[in-house]
Amino acid sequence: MPTMKDLELFKAAYKTVKEIIGIREGESLLITIDSVSEFRVAEEMAKAGEALGAKVMVAWHSTPKGYGMACDPYLPDPLHAACENTDAWIELNNQWLLYGTPWTKAVTNGRTRNLMLGGLSTDQLIRCIGEVDIPTQRAFQEKVVEISSAAKKMTVTNKAGTDLEFENHPDRPWANEHVAHTPGGHFLTGQIGWAPVEETVNGVMVFDGAISGGGEADIGLVKEPVTYVVEKGRLIEIKGGKEADAVRRWFEKLNDPNMYILAHAAYGFNPNARLGFTTTEDERIWGCTEWGFGYQGPMYSGGDPRVAASHIDGVCLDCTVTADGAELTRDGEVVHPELRDLAAKLGH
Ligand SMILES: [Fe+2]
């Protein structure tokens, strides 16, 4: 029996499998999903994969209690085996396999195209992929990377109190997330991540959007901003209210010095993202920046991952970003003259 938005969901699922991950006839497509995620999304993607000639398998499993390597012990053995033995893998898990052992093996095997769409519901998939003009989005993001990667010194501020400066690494890659056509780890359209030179990152980041760390640090929207004080790329103090306390306890529980090192910066630029659904969408709010600590994937390090017990992300809303003194965004809106027209075409 048809249910709400069946047609829009299938269209978005088909677009994801065909246009974003670029499945080809005869390829193996693995879709993973944990029990708290919306299974309907996996089902429609599986149908799309079949229609496009892929060999499809859906792995549905109980929900781990943590992200990344923290979820390893909860995963069935066949899942460990499957993730690294496929051409394409779409992850729909709420508690991310991302940065865990199966993920690391998969994204470094030179074969698997991994697309992390953690926890996306029907509505989210429709708005964040189905209703996005992907060619324009790609052009916009490519231009953002061109401008940003040419710069050495960057600053990020926002009205909540974020005040950061750092230098870009001349050789590290830029993880420009729009399509997932190459082997390795990819994310939902509308994010551009990179790892600055750790020793140059100084200041404060105030998470006034959301925090996502898995387990007890899976906070979602913050009621009270959480402030990280960062010196030379290392988190030295967490300030705020109850949520800051929970985050601090989670760091202590993980008991891993590598958790305190900045893993990446990221721009959020999905034109349709809305705050308050899941991290995957929260961290793509147009004009936000997002900061990850802990496990540093190879798409950021440019080589081996920097292993850590887990990974935690926080979102700073409505940022002003400068690259070698030139403003890209001001209070979350794109102002750079080379980006304005494309941003307007995307509805901003
Ligand atoms: Fe992250």
pLDDT digits (tens, 9 = 90+) for 16-36: 999 999 999 999 999 999 999
Distance from the alpha carbon of residue 295 to the mean position of ligand 1, in angstroms = 8
**Average pLDDT score over the chain:** 96
Residue 121 has pLDDT above 90, yes or no: yes
pLDDT tier for residue 59 given thresholds of 50, 70 and 90: very high
Tell me, what's the pLDDT at 118?
Answer: 87
Sort residue 75 into left (φ over 0), alpha (ψ -120 to 50) or beta: beta
pLDDT recorded at residue 214: 83
pLDDT of residue 120: 92
pLDDT at 210: 96
* Residue 311 Cα to ligand 1 middle (Å): 6
With a CB cutoff of 8 Å and minimum separation 6, the contacts of 252 are: none
DSSP string, 272-306: T--TTS-HHHHTTBTTEEEEEEEEE-HHHHSSS-E
CA–centroid distance, 264 to ligand 1, in Å, is 7
In the reported structure, the alpha carbon of residue 288 is separated from the centroid of ligand 1 by a whole-number distance in angstroms of 13
Tokens read off for 257: 């010095």
Cα 51 to middle of ligand 1, angstroms:
33
Task: Write the pLDDT tens digit of every residue in 177-209.
Answer: 999 999 999 999 999 999 999 999 999 999 999
- The pocket of ion ligand 1, defined by CB under 5 A, consists of 292, 313
CA of 313 to the centre of ligand 1 (A): 5
Question: Where do the structural domains in the chain lie, given as residue ranges?
Answer: 6-129, 134-345
Quick one: how far is CA 142 from the chain centroid?
17
- pLDDT tens per residue, range 239-270: 999 999 999 999 999 999 999 999 999 999 99
- For residue 280, the model assigns a pLDDT of 84
CA of 188 to the centre of ligand 1 (A): 12
Residue 236 burial (CB < 10 Å; 0-12/13-18/19+)? Answer: exposed
Q: How far is the CA of 12 from the centre of ligand 1 (A)?
A: 24
What is the pLDDT averaged over residues 150-160? 98
pLDDT, position 213: 87
What φ, ψ does residue 218 adopt, rounded to 5°? -85, 75
CA 18–ligand 1 middle distance (angstroms): 26
pLDDT of residue 89: 98
Portion of the chain with pLDDT greater than 70, in percent: 100
Topology given in CATH for the domain delimited by 6-129: Thermophilic metalloprotease-like (3.40.1830)
- Gap from CA of 95 to ligand 1 centroid (Å): 13
Rounded to two decimals, the pTM is: 0.91
Residue where the block lists tokens 């935690």: 312
Q: 280 alpha carbon to ligand 1 midpoint, in Å?
A: 10
Say what the pLDDT of residue 39 is: 97
Question: Helix (H, G, I), strand (E, B), or coil: what is residue 315?
Answer: strand
- In this model, does residue 65 exceed pLDDT 90? no
Mean pLDDT across the stretch 323-340? 98
Q: How far is the CA of 5 from the centre of ligand 1 (A)?
A: 30
> How sure is the predictor about 99, in pLDDT bands with cuts at 50, 70 and 90?
confident
